[in-house]
A and B are shown apart, each in its own frame.
Chain A
Amino acid sequence: MNLADHLPALQVAVPLLTAPLVILLRAGFLAWLTALVASLASLGLAILLTVAVLETGTQEYYVGGWEPPYGIALSVDGLSALVLLLITGASSLALAGGRQSLRLDIDNRRAPMFYGAWLIAMAGLCGIAVTGDAFNVFVFMEISSLATYILIAAGRDRRALSAVFKYLIIGTIGATFYLIGVGFIYMMTGTLNFADMALRLDDVIETRPVIIAAGFITIGLALKAAIFPLHIWLPRAYTYAPNAVTVFIAACSTKVAIYVLLRFNFTVFHGNLLGHSDLFSVFIIPLALSGILLASAIAIYQGNVKKMLAFSSVAQIGYIALAAGLASQAGLMAALLHMFNHALAKGTLFLCVLAFILTSRSAIITDLHGIGRRMPWTMAAFVLAGLSLIGVPGTAGFISKWYLIVAVMEVPGWGVPLVMAIIASSLMAVVYLWKFIEAAYYGEPPPGGDTAALEVTLPLRALIWVAALSNVYFGLFPQLPLALAQSGTGTLLGGLN
C-alpha cells in the first residue's frame, strides 16, 4: 500500500497530529507558520482526493484494515470532496491572510494554544467529511465544536464570551439531539455505518423509534447548521470572534452541518421511510423561506458590518436549505453549488472586512465611512465578492442562483411565489451591501478621522484579490464545482433507488 491509498486518513491525521506539535512551539510566529503549512498540506490532500474522486469514483478506506460494518470505514465521494475543499481552503485563506490581524487579537503567549485549537477544529471538520460512520461524525463534531468555541472566545473582545456561551449551549443541544437520534437507530439496526444503516433500516421501516430518530437528527443538525429560526447563536458568534476566525468558520462550519444533514436525510432515510421526502420538504422549506426573507431584512438594519454579513449568512443558508428541501435532482445540485459559491463569496467578504478592521480598528459602519477612498484595492474586491453574493452574472453566485431558480420553477404550483421570494431576497442583498458600499466610497469620514490613503500590506491585498477573482473564475468556468455537485447529487439520490 503506498501513501496515496491513505489519503482519507491523512486528511484527518495531518492537522490532528500537527496540533500538539504547534502547542509545543513557543513563539507565535512559528506556531502560525506551522499551522499554515499544515493547513496548506491539508488543502493539497483535499485536492489530491478530489482528483482521485473525479477520476475513479468514491475512495473507500478501512481504518486498521478492519472491514465494515465491524471496523470504521472512511469514504470520500464527490460530496465529501467538495466539503473538504471548502474546509481546507477556508482555513488556508484565513491563516494566510490573518497573520497581522491575529497578532493583534491573540495574546502572544497563548498563540501556540490558539493555533493548536485551530488545527484541531479543522481536523474535526475534515473528520466529519471523510467518515462513513454515524457515531464517528458525532465524535468529530464534538472535537470541532469544542475547538471552535475556543477560537471564537480567544479574542480580546469580551462580548465573545457571552456569544460563545450561547453557541456552546445550543451547539451541545444540537449534538445531543443528533446522538439521541443515532442511538435510536443503533438500537433498531445494530449498526453505525451509513451504508449498512441504509440497508438494514429496510427491515424496520415505519417503526416509531426510526421516525423519532429522523426527527432528532434533522433538528439537531438544523441547530448546528443555523437554519432559521435555529440560527440565534450565529450572528453574535461571527461578529465577536477574532476576524480571521470569522473568515474560517463563516466559510465552512455551517456547511459541514448541512453536509451531514443531507447525507443522513438522503442516503439513509430517503430510501427507507415512506413519505420522508415530503415530510422533509414540508419541515425545511417554510423555515428556509422565512430565513431567506427575514434574515435579509434584518441584515439591512445592522450597524456592524460583520453582523450584517452574519445575518446575510443566515439568509444564504436559507437558500441552501430551500434548494435541498426541494429534494429533486436540480434542487440538490443548486444546494451543493451554493455551498461552494457562498463559501467563496463570504470568505472573500470577511477577508476584506478583516483588512478594514486591521487598518481602522472598528467594524461599525459609521466608523468605516470613506474607507473605500482610503483602501481602494480592498474595497473593489469587496464589491466584486458582493456582486457574487447578490448573484450577478459572471460571478460564481449567479451559477448557483440560476440552478436554484430553475429548480424551484419545477415545483408545481409554488414555482412563481418561490422565485419571487428568492428575487426579493436578492434585492435586499443589494440594499444591505450597497448601504455599506456607498458609505465606504462616499460617506463623510468620522470627525477627527484620518483621510490619508491607507492600505494593508501587499501580500494580504494580493490574497484578497486572488479570493475575489476566484469568484469571477468560478462564475465563468464552473466545471469543477459542477462536477463535484453532480457526483454528490448522484450519491445522495442513489438512496432513492
Chain B
Amino acid sequence: MGANSLPIILLVPLLGAIGIALTGRWPNVRETISLVTALALAVLVFSWFPEVLDGARPRFTLSEPLPGLSLALSLEPLGMMFACIASFLWIINTIYSIGYMRSNNEKHQTRFYICFALAIAAAMGIALSDNLFTLFLFYEILTLSTYPLVAHKGDPKTIASARVYLGILIGTSIGLLLPAIIWTYVATGTTTFTLGGIIQGNVPGPAVGLLLGLFVFGIGKAAVMPVHRWLPAAMVAPTPVSALLHAVAVVKAGVFCVTKIIIYIFGVDFLFSQPSAQWLQYIAAFTIISASIVALYQTNLKRMLAYSTIAQLSYVIMATVILKPLAEIGAAVHIAAHAFGKITLFFAAGAIYTAAHKTELWQLAGIGRRMPITMAAFTIGALSMIGVPPTAGFVSKWFILAGAFQAENYLAIFTIIASTALNAMYFLPIVYFAWLAPDAPDVDMNHGEAPAAILLALGVTATLTIVFFFFNQPLLDLEGQLVQSLPL
C-alpha cells in the first residue's frame, strides 16, 4: 500500500461515526455499523504490520499550516503497535458494549457509539502522528471526544467528576505540554519525530530535565503522580468506557506519547547522559509504590482497578527512563500486555455489575461459584497484573527487569519487586474470596453469568492474555527495531 492511504485509517472510524449518527433510530443497524467499522479498521491497520516489520516507514503530509509545522502521519514500530492494540481491542470492546449497554438499558446510546468512534479516530491519529503538533492535535481531540463518555450518566455527581477529568487533562496539556512543544520548536526548528532525538545540542543540560518535566506532566493521560486524579474520577463512566480509558485508548495514548517523545524527541542515548533528567525515575517509582498502596485500601472494585492502572502506567514510564535497549522493548511490550490484562479485569467488573449489580469488594465473596467464566477471566487478568507466567504481564516484566539489570539500576529493580508483592497483596485475596470463601451475608445471590456478548468479549481477552505469553515474537521483532541502532 502507498503512503497516500494512511489517512484512510483515520477516515474509517470517522465515517463510522457518521454512519452511526445517521442510523441512530435503528439500534440493530447502528450497532452493526459500529462492529463493521471496527472490523474494517482492524483489518486495515493489521495489513500495514508486515510492511512496517520489513522496515517500511510510510509518511503522508495532510497540510502544512505554518512552515516547519505540518499535519503529517507516519507509521513506525511504536505507533504500529499502539494502532494494532487500539483497533483490535475496539472490536472486542464494541461487542462488549453492545451487551453491556443493552442489558443495563443505558440512555443516549447513539451518542455513546459516536463518541467512541471519534475517540478511536483520535487514538489512531495519535498512533500515526509524525510530529508533536499532530500528536497534540489528536491528543486534544481524544480528551474532548471522551468527555461525553465519562459524563454519560449526566447526573450532578457524574458531571462534577467529568469536570475533574476534563480540567486536569486540558489544563495540563495547554499549560505544560503546549509550552514544551513550543520550546522544542523554538529550540530545534522542528517538531518531527526523529530516531535518535532532536534535542541534543539544542537545549542546555539542566534545561533538559525541565523540558522532560513539562512533557511528562503535560501528558496528563500518563497519570504520573500528582496528575493522576482524573483517572479515579473517571470511574463514574459506564464500564465499556472504563475499558476504553484504561486499555484501549486513553491512558495507553498517554504512556505511548511519553515513550514516543523520549525515544524520538530526546533520544535514549542522549537522555541517559543527562543527569538533570534522572528525577523522572524517582517520580515513576514513587507513583508505582504509592498507587499500589492506595489500591490496597480501596473497597470499590473499579476504583481499585483504577489505582492499579496508575501504578502499571508508571511501569511503562519507569521502563522507558531506564534508557537501555531491553527496557525500551519492555516498555513497548508492557503497553500491549497491560492492555490485554486490564481490559479483561474491567470486562469482568462490568460483567459482575451487569449480572449481579455488585460494585464493592466485600460483596464478591463466593461469586466465582455463580459466575465461573467471568471469575476465571478475572483471575487470569489478575495474574497478568502480578506478572505470573504464563500470562502477558510476565513477558514485559522480564524485559523491564533485564533492562534494569543491564543499567544496574537498583531503584528500578527494587521498585518492580516491591510492587509485584503489593500487586499480589491486593489481587490474590479477591481471587481467593471469590472462589473459596462462603457467600457474603445479606447479598442477593440469585444471578448467573452475564449476557453472551459480554462473556464472549472477556473470554477473548483472557485467552489473549495467555496467548501473548507464547506468541509474541512479531511484536518483539517490531519493537526491537526501535533500539537496533543502540549498543546493547
**Chains A and B form a bound pair:** yes
A-B contacts counted at CB < 8 A amount to 58
Contact with A along B151-164 (1 / 0, CB 8 A): 10010000100010
How many angstroms from the CA of A423 to the CA of B140 in the assembled complex?
16
Q: Cβ of A423: which chain B residues have Cβ within 8 Å of it?
A: 174-175, 178-179
B136 at the A interface (CB under 8 A): yes
Of residues 110 through 132 on chain A, the ones whose CB sits less than 8 Å from some CB of chain B are: none
**Which residues of chain A come closer than 8 Å to B185, judged between CB atoms?**
406
List of A residues within 8 angstroms of B136 by Cβ: 393
The answer to whether A490 has its CB under 8 Å from any CB of chain B is: no
A392 vs B139: C-alpha distance when bound (angstroms): 11
Establish whether residues A430 and B66, one from each chain, have CB atoms under 8 Å apart when the complex forms.
Answer: no
Residue pair A419, B179 in contact (C-beta under 8 Å): yes
Using C-beta atoms within 8 Å of the partner chain, give the interface range for chain B.
Answer: 20 to 34
In the bound complex, CA of A394 to CA of B69 (Å):
11
Please, which residue of chain B has its CB at the minimum distance from the CB of A402? Answer: B66
Shortest CB distance A177–B (Å): 38
Residues of B within 8 A of A390 (CB): 174
Q: Which residue from chain B places its CB closest to the CB of A429 in the assembled complex?
A: B174
Q: Which of A391, A427, A476 contacts B63 (CB 8 A)?
A: A476
In the complex, are the beta carbons of A406 and B182 less than 8 A apart?
Answer: yes
- What size tier do the contact residues of chain A reach? 20 to 34
Within 8 A of A (CB), among B141-169: 141, 144, 148, 151, 154, 159, 163, 166
Contacts of B174 in A (CB 8 A): 390-391, 423, 426-427, 430
Q: Are A476 and B175 in contact (CB under 8 A)?
A: no
Give B143 Cβ to nearest chain A Cβ, in Å: 10
Q: Which residue from chain B places its CB closest to the CB of A410 in the assembled complex?
A: B186
Residue of A nearest to B69 (CB): A402
Contact present for B133 and A393 (CB under 8 Å): yes
Report A311 CB to chain B, min CB distance, Å: 20
Q: How far is the CA of A403 from the CA of B65 in the complex (A)?
A: 12
Minimum distance in angstroms from B115 CB to a CB of chain A: 12
Contacting pair B186 A399 (CB below 8 A): no
Contacting pair B140 A393 (CB below 8 A): yes
Interface residues in B166-206 (C-beta closer than 8 Å to A) = 166, 170-171, 174-175, 178-179, 182, 185-186
**B322 contacts the other chain (Cβ, under 8 Å)?**
no
Within 8 A of A (CB), among B43-86: 62-63, 65-66, 69, 71
A478 close to B66 (CB less than 8 A): yes
How far does the alpha carbon of A423 sit from the alpha carbon of B176 in the complex, in Å?
9
Interface residues of B in 462-483 (CB under 8 A from A): none
Q: Once bound together, how far apart are the Cα atoms of A235 and B148, in whole Å?
A: 32
Q: Are B178 and A434 in contact (CB under 8 A)?
A: no
- The answer on a CB contact under 8 Å between A442 and B154 is yes
| A442 close to B151 (CB less than 8 A) | yes
- Using known A-B contacts A430-B174, A438-B159, determine if residue A476 contacts B69 with beta carbons closer than 8 Å: no
Of residues 414 through 442 on chain A, the ones whose CB sits less than 8 Å from some CB of chain B are 419, 423, 426-427, 430, 434, 438, 441-442
Judge if A477 is at the interface, Cβ distance under 8 Å. yes
The reply to whether A392 and B65 form a contact with Cβ atoms under 8 Å apart is: no
Contact B186 A409 (CB under 8 A): yes
A464 to chain B, nearest CB (A): 18
Is A405's CB within 8 Å of the partner chain B?
yes
Contact between B154 and A394, CB atoms less than 8 A apart: no
| Cβ–Cβ < 8 Å partners of A325 in chain B | none
Residue A78 CB within 8 A of the other chain:
no
Interface flag for B137 (CB, 8 Å): yes
- Per DSSP, chain A at the interface is helix
A475 at the B interface (CB under 8 A):
yes
Q: Return chain A residues, CB-CB under 8 Å to B66.
A: 399, 402-403, 478, 482
Taking the closest CB of chain A, its distance from the CB of B128, in whole angstroms, is 15
B108 → A minimal CB distance (Å)? 9
Nearest-CB residue, chain A, relative to B166: A434
Flag if A409 contacts B182 (CB, 8 Å): yes
- Complex-state Cα separation, A392 to B150, whole angstroms: 21
Does the CB pair A475–B65 fall under 8 Å? Answer: yes
**For the complex, what is the distance from the CA of A442 to the CA of B62, rounded to whole Å?**
35
Q: Name the one of A391, A419, A442, A477 contacting B65, with C-beta atoms under 8 angstroms.
A: A477
- Most chain B CB neighbours (cut-off 10 Å) among A390, A394, A434: A394
Complex CA–CA separation, A402 to B136 (angstroms): 13
When the two chains form their complex, are residues B133 and A430 in contact, meaning their CB atoms are under 8 A apart? no
Chain A positions 52-85 with a Cβ under 8 Å from a chain B Cβ: none
| Given A442-B151, A476-B63, A394 and B137 contact (CB-CB distance below 8 Å) | yes
Question: Across the two chains, which residue of chain A brings its CB closest to B151?
Answer: A442
The answer on a CB contact under 8 Å between B159 and A442 is: yes
Do B71 and A476 have beta carbons less than 8 Å apart? yes
* Residue among B137, B141, B178 having the largest count of chain A Cβ atoms under 10 Å: B178
Choose among B65, B154, B170, B182 the residue that contacts A476 (Cβ–Cβ < 8 A): B65
Most buried by B among A392, A399, A409: A392
Are B171's CB and A427's CB within 8 A?
yes
When chains A and B are docked, how far (Å) is the Cα of A476 from the Cα of B170?
Answer: 21
> Closest CB of chain A to B145's CB: distance in Å?
11
**Residues on the B chain within 8 Å of A405, using CB:** 179, 182
Q: Is the CB of A430 within 8 A of B171?
A: yes
How far does the Cβ of A18 sit from chain B's closest Cβ, in whole Å?
38
Which A residues, 378 to 410, have Cβ-Cβ distances below 8 Å to chain B?
387, 390-394, 399, 402-403, 405-406, 409
Minimum Cβ distance to chain A for residue B337 (Å)? 32
CB distance from A415 to the nearest CB of B (A): 9
Cα separation A419 to B242 with both chains bound (whole Å): 35
| Chain A residues within 8 Å of B175, by CB | 423, 427
| Bound: A392/B71 CA distance, A | 14
| Closest A residue by C-beta to B171 | A427
Could you tell me if A477 and B63 are in contact, using CB atoms closer than 8 angstroms?
yes
Contacts of A476 in B (CB 8 A): 62-63, 65, 71
CB A215 to nearest CB in B, in angstroms, measures 35
Contacting residues, chain B, for A392 (C-beta < 8 A)? 137, 140
Residues 441 to 480 of chain A near chain B (Cβ within 8 Å): 441-442, 475-478
Docked complex Cα distance between A67 and B154 (Å): 68
What are 22 of the A-B contact pairs (CB < 8 Å)?
A390-B174, A393-B133, A393-B136, A405-B179, A405-B182, A406-B182, A423-B179, A426-B174, A427-B170, A430-B171, A430-B174, A434-B163, A434-B166, A438-B159, A442-B151, A442-B159, A475-B65, A476-B63, A476-B65, A476-B71, A477-B65, A482-B66
Other A-B contacts than A427-B174, A478-B65, 5 sampled, CB-CB below 8 A, are A391-B174, A392-B140, A434-B163, A434-B166, A478-B66
Q: In the A-B complex, list the 6 residue pairs whose CB atoms are closest, starting with the nearest.
A: A393-B137, A476-B63, A394-B137, A442-B159, A478-B65, A442-B154
